[in-house]
Amino acid sequence: MSVELKKPTLKDFKGDTSTWCPGCGHFSVMAGLQRALVNLGIHPHEVITVTGIGCSSKISEYTRTYGFHTIHGRALPVAQGAKMAAPEMHVIAAGGDGDGYGIGAGHFVHAVRRNIDLTYLVMDNSIYGLTKGQTSPRSQHDFVSKTTLKGNKEYPLDALSIALANGATFVAQAFSGDVKRMSELIEKAIQHKGFSLVNIFSPCVTYNKVNTYDYYRDHLVTIDEPLPTREEAIRVLKEHDGNVQGLLFVEERDDFQKQLGIDWKMRDVQNGPMDEAMIRALEKEFM
Ligand SMILES: Cc1ncc(C[n+]2csc(CCOP(=O)(O)OP(=O)(O)O)c2C)c(N)n1
Ligand code: SF4
Ligand SMILES: [Mg+2]
């Protein structure tokens, strides 16, 4: 007998009580994600949220889905493994700019080029929030913090161009001050078959007094249609110093699992008896 599930609501996704500072941009990212899931009719038990470490990474505790709060910079390896094990689940990887583009940068590039079907939300406040305000890989040149007292002498990492240059099939950027647009972009990202990146400007109201809500309202340029080529998307990013919001580039390409031609789940390989066909498929791919 099949049971008809009622439509999911925002209430279904309410998890633990948050300890974020009042006004933190991460609240809006969580609202945007939950709204996107509800709009798509996805239930909490159909989602795995995997995060690293940081204020942003607490989203896996505050959103009621299956969750894995991993270690610093390791959300993507775990999220990719989860998708391989359970391809029927929607996998959301999430975390901060420090987590994803600092300690996790190596994993980021490889996840981009591997194109496993999951959505990566980076809550970019251009600072390390959880550890109380150090300069991050996304902090602006000359940004002053307790770790760069005379101003940051490095230039911010351009994550979207890195993703575009390495074959990303879905690259978008959003802003916590525009939840409607952000939520629509997250919806599209979840629907995209392959690795989808949404970098979200999500102000840290406590430690970053430069990249504020007003800063993004003054600087952000909106892209209404995806750019026709990845080269053009990189050019537009450079032209506006990265300050664009919208879906920059999308490409339909078979994801990793489709290319491998595997229709079994890693989970079955571990837990159940392996049949002849499965053994042959494994031999073909990995030996
Ligand atoms: C291996 C390791 N190194 C350093 C830390 C300390 N640490 C915890 S969170 C964090 C940075 C968090 O910044 P970000 O990912 O941008 O998230 P935010 O707090 O800004 O949302 C650091 C350096 C750690 N937990 N583990
Ligand atoms: S320290 Fe910054 S990033 Fe962390 S919860 Fe507070 S406002 Fe948000
Ligand atoms: Mg940060």
Domain for residue 2, yes or no?
no
Domain hosting 213: range is: 10-253
Q: What percent of the chain has pLDDT over 90?
A: 86
Question: In this predicted structure, what is the pLDDT of residue 70?
Answer: 98
Task: With cut-offs at 50, 70 and 90, classify the pLDDT of residue 267.
Answer: low
Please check whether residues 63 and 77 belong to one and the same domain.
Answer: yes
Closest-lying ligand to the alpha carbon of 104? 1
Residue 205 beta carbon below 6 angstroms from any ligand 2 atom = yes
Please check whether residues 155 and 38 belong to one and the same domain.
Answer: yes
Residue 21 beta carbon below 6 angstroms from any ligand 2 atom = yes
**Which residue puts its alpha carbon closest to atom 6 of ligand 2?**
21
**Global model pTM greater than 0.85:** yes
Closest-lying ligand to the alpha carbon of 57? 1
Please check whether residues 249 and 282 belong to one and the same domain.
Answer: no
**Which residue puts its alpha carbon closest to atom 3 of ligand 1?**
72
In the 3-class helix/strand/coil scheme, how is 121-184 assigned residue by residue?
EEEECCCECCCCCECCCCCCCCCCECCECCCCCCCCCCHHHHHHHCCCCEEEEEECCCHHHHHH
Ligand 1 pocket, Cβ-based, cut-off 6 angstroms: 53-56, 72, 95-99, 123, 125, 127-131, 136, 204
Please check whether residues 180 and 155 belong to one and the same domain.
Answer: yes
Please check whether residues 121 and 53 belong to one and the same domain.
Answer: yes
SS3 content of the chain, % helix, strand, coil (to 5): 40, 15, 45
Cα 33 from Cα 31, distance rounded (Å): 6
Please check whether residues 68 and 110 belong to one and the same domain.
Answer: yes
268 pLDDT above the threshold of 70:
no
pLDDT in tens, 118-160: 999 999 999 999 999 999 999 999 999 999 999 999 999 999 9
271 pLDDT above the threshold of 60:
no
